[in-house]
Amino acid sequence: MNPSSAVDRYAVIGNPIVQSKSPIIHGLFAAATDQQMEYTKVEGRIGDFAKQLDELRAVGMRGMNVTAPFKLEAFAYATHLSESAKLAGAVNALKFEGAEVHAQNFDGIGLVNDIERNHKTPMKGKRVLLLGAGGAVRGALLPFARCEPALLVVANRTVAKAQELVDMLRTQSAANVQASSYEDLREPFDVIVNGTSASLFGDAPAVPHAAFSVDGLAYEMAYGKGATPFLLLAQAAGARRMVDGVGMLVEQAALAFEWWRGVRPSTVQAIHQLTVPIDFS
């Protein structure tokens, strides 16, 4: 008898996937909550995603996290999409129940939880800025709007793309949301979140120093990359609170874990274990 048959099986799928910290996170969650489960990495087959998921479900896979480049394919594969997944147009968690495939996108909610709980920065009544107009920002829009900021701005190099997201959000929320170019950001924000990929390519979005607040929070969605160009920009602008996205990673994992297992794990240990101090020297 296969010993793994006695436990529920979950995995994260992506390509590449070797860098994923998800098995560490879910292993900590399972141990802390006494859950009998196995969580592994699966290297996704490019161009063969749906068939691969069919195969995994056939051998007992109960649920999966989905990372790049498969979030759009997971969206198409699902039979039931949550509101967050529909708005994001992408999926990062799947739950298999017989012939049904339920899909969620926990990225935006995980980001909110990290900012408000772990970094103790409530966004209600604050000025909040999201940089970029890709999938990461799209997934964060509705969760951010539900925090009731005084102003929510989406800024992008191509303003028309930011405006598309703003128009989409206005069909879902009455929040005060605006689109902007980078150069038109002339007033300080309480929270600035970098959802662009610029830092991954050694660049920073062209945000004026005036947009940063000394006591505000500068948040880099990427994690484990050290002092990224965005965080260095924030430092140069005088910001004193600069963090990366490791907490977002753990918080969205906790939401998926709770969705699958019905148990809410503490995120403190996982965040502590995965946090790498950012060296600005």
Q: Which residues contact residue 9 at a Cβ distance below 8 angstroms, ignoring those fewer than 6 apart?
A: 37, 38, 39, 40, 59, 60, 61, 62
H-helix segments, 185-267: 229-236, 246-261
Cis peptide before 265 (omega within 30 of 0): no
28: exposed, middle or buried (C-beta count within 10 Å: 0-12, 13-18, 19+)? buried
Spatial contact of 234 and 208, defined as CB atoms under 8 Å apart: no
Give the Cα separation of 20 and 84 in Å (integer).
23
Catalytic-residue membership of 124: no
Enter the tokens of residue 3: 């010993």
Q: Per the residue annotation, which of 21, 51, 71, 225 is the catalytic one? A: 71
Give the Cα separation of 274 and 122 in Å (integer).
24
Cα-Cα-Cα-Cα torsion 93, 205, 192, 176, nearest 10 degrees, comes to -90
Question: In a 3-state reduction of DSSP, which class is residue 171?
Answer: coil
Enter the tokens of residue 143: 């969760």
Cis peptide before 122 (omega within 30 of 0): no
Kindly list the catalytic residues: 71
